[in-house]
């Protein structure tokens, strides 16, 4: 069981909860901190001094005082009025991640919520009650107000306890009203008190949730991108000189050095490398460490921001010692939006250079003597199209990535009567980054699939050739699931199978980095 305290949540733990349904509990230390902050909030409420979000309206209505007797209605109205998202629902794993991150944010102890609210969110996670949350409508400022409000609809209520105002949730594979889902799970919905509505929906939590999953998947893709590169390098009998450590040390970029070392490990023992006597290869092979390495360096920075954000206090206002209540902008999703743009750009380039290698593998003038389009034999060309069309698919996805990677965080429109006059657009950036991740996974699957076929044909031409120690393992693992077919076939299901292997990390045990000590 995972234990959260607001400060030490990891991406590994997020993956275990979001995708592995591991149970979660609140630490005893965090429970004490949350209770202490709640007592401070109660003291503030008792004084009746004006404090934003506790006894005032929100946004443009920040100067409107709200009587103490209406504090519960204030919180409930905030959730009801802000749950106006649209678009296809986010995946269950994204919503589970957001629930965990929000619980961890509240556990940090600056929000003033009752500990019962955190316990209820974690109970929903543990019992599998997953709110249905639309994917569109959030600006990432003041945080992800809309999706968080849809999430909160499910487990919050008021004196009327209306079923038609309880949102929707998935429970045991069935979409139900939030009220019914909670009832079937044996969980009691909760009435909110002062500030608790704002504490639930203020912060770029869904942006961070998407970001966390994108970082996890991007790391897996980058490791496997190097495997695809290595297989292609062998299939076209490429040059090893571009991966010599001396080249990369004198430039000094860590990611570049790691990629080169990774490829050297994978092709070690190959008799195909340097077999043609070429002096140098095209950029898609020769410069791959520089491109994939830059993506690794970018991912390292993105990871640091996301790891910080999932352990951050992000609502407003925040409550500190001595009863100080500070209004600020920690909800603003700019840090997440920017790094999601960076990640989308980095992965777009990884996919782009991968597609160029697929093109090279299928072009009979560029693939070092293999049949055009990797048909089974030159005599079959024309009757069979070979792998002509998978390269089209890769090109299409690369072009889509180039649009998706256009930065979102630079775009802003004002809201709330100019009170919120600069917005982060972080949710859109995160959604686009996730689509780039999926597109890149498919492009890499096409390269792995194409390189495997090229190696089959190369080994037919050079039967005594020996593959690299690691590339042989990757090749054999792929071929165990997707056998070679001589003539034209329905390639799509086979490529989809390789993509599932990539996303599941089936190749990672074979290609996991052993070069992390490179400096």
CA distance 286 to 282: 6
Q: What share of the chain is helix, strand, coil (3-state, %, to 5)?
A: 60, 10, 35
> Sign of the C-alpha dihedral, residues 265, 271, 272, 277?
positive
Alpha helices by DSSP H, listed for 83-144, are 92-107, 115-127
Active site residues: 52
Residue 31: strand, helix, or coil: helix
Residue 180: count other Cβ atoms within 10 Å of its Cβ: 15
CA of residue 175 relative to chain centroid, distance: 25
Residue 466: strand, helix, or coil: coil
Tokens read off for 508: 């990672």
Comparing C-alpha atoms, which of 220, 227, 219 is closest to residue 266? 227
Tokens read off for 436: 């780039």
CA distance 482 to 340: 34
The alpha carbon torsion through 335, 341, 342, 346 (nearest 10 deg) reads 160
Provide φ and ψ at 413, rounded to 5°.
Answer: -130, 140
Site of tokens 């409000």: 149
Comparing C-alpha atoms, which of 504, 515, 502, 449 is closest to residue 479? 449
Tokens read off for 51: 């404090």
Strand partners, 86: 136
CA distance 161 to 124: 18
Strand partners, 191: 157
Provide φ and ψ at 489, rounded to 5°.
Answer: -150, 175
- Max Cα separation, the chain? 89
Q: Which residues contact 174 (CB under 8 A, 6 or more apart)?
A: none
Comparing C-alpha atoms, which of 429, 424, 409, 210 is closest to residue 329? 424
Q: What is the DSSP letter of 326?
A: E
Comparing C-alpha atoms, which of 355, 368, 354, 395 is closest to residue 461? 368
CA distance 98 to 128: 14
Residue 175: strand, helix, or coil: strand
């Amino acid at each position: 069981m995972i234990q959260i305290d607001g400060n030490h949540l990891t991406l590994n733990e997020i993956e275990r909860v979001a995708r592995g349904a591991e149970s979660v509990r609140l630490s005893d230390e965090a429970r004490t901190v949350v209770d202490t902050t709640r007592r401070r909030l109660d003291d503030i409420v008792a004084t009746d001094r004006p404090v934003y979000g506790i006894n005032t309206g929100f946004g443009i209505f920040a100067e409107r005082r709200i009587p103490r007797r209406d504090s519960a209605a204030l919180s409930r109205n905030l959730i009801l009025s802000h749950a106006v998202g649209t678009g296809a629902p986010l995946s269950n794993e994204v919503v589970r991640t957001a629930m965990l991150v929000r619980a961890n944010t509240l556990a940090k102890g600056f929000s003033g919520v009752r500990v019962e609210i955190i316990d209820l969110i974690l109970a929903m996670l543990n019992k599998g009650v997953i709110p249905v949350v639309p994917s569109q409508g959030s600006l990432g400022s003041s945080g992800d107000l809309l999706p968080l409000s849809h999430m909160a609809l499910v487990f919050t209520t008021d004196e009327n306890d209306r079923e038609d105002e309880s949102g929707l949730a998935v429970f045991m594979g069935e979409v139900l009203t939030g009220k019914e889902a909670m009832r079937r799970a044996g969980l009691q919905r909760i009435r909110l008190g002062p500030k608790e509505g704002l504490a639930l929906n203020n912060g770029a939590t869904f942006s961070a949730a998407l970001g966390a999953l994108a970082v996890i998947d991007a790391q897996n893709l980058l490791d496997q991108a190097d495997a695809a590169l290595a297989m292609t390098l062998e299939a076209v009998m490429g040059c090893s000189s571009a991966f010599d450590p001396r080249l990369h040390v004198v430039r000094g970029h860590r990611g570049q050095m790691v990629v080169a070392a990774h490829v050297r490990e994978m092709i070690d023992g190959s008799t195909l490398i340097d077999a043609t006597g070429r002096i140098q290869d095209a950029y898609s092979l020769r410069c791959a460490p520089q491109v994939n390495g830059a993506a690794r360096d970018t991912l390292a920075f993105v990871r640091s921001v996301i790891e910080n954000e999932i352990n951050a206090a992000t609502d407003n206002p925040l409550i500190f010692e001595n009863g100080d209540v500070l209004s600020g902008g920690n909800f603003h999703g700019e840090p997440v939006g920017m790094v999601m743009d960076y990640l989308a750009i980095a992965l777009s380039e990884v996919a782009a250079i991968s597609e160029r290698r697929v093109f090279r593998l299928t072009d009979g003038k560029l693939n070092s003597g293999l049949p055009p389009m990797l048909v089974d034999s030159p005599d079959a060309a024309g009757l069979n199209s070979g792998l002509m069309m998978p390269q089209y698919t890769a090109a299409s996805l690369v072009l889509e990535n180039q649009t998706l990677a256009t930065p979102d965080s630079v775009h802003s429109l004002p809201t709330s009567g100019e009170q919120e006059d600069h917005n982060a657009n972080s949710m859109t950036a995160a959604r686009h980054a996730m689509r780039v991740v999926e597109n890149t996974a498919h492009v890499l699957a096409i390269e792995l699939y194409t390189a495997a076929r090229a190696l089959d044909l190369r080994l037919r031409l050079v039967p005594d050739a020996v593959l690299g120690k690691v590339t042989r393992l990757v090749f054999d693992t792929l071929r165990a699931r997707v056998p070679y077919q001589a003539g034209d076939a329905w390639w799509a299901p086979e490529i989809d199978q390789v993509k599932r292997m990539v996303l599941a990390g089936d190749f990672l045990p074979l290609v996991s980095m052993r070069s992390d000590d490179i400096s």
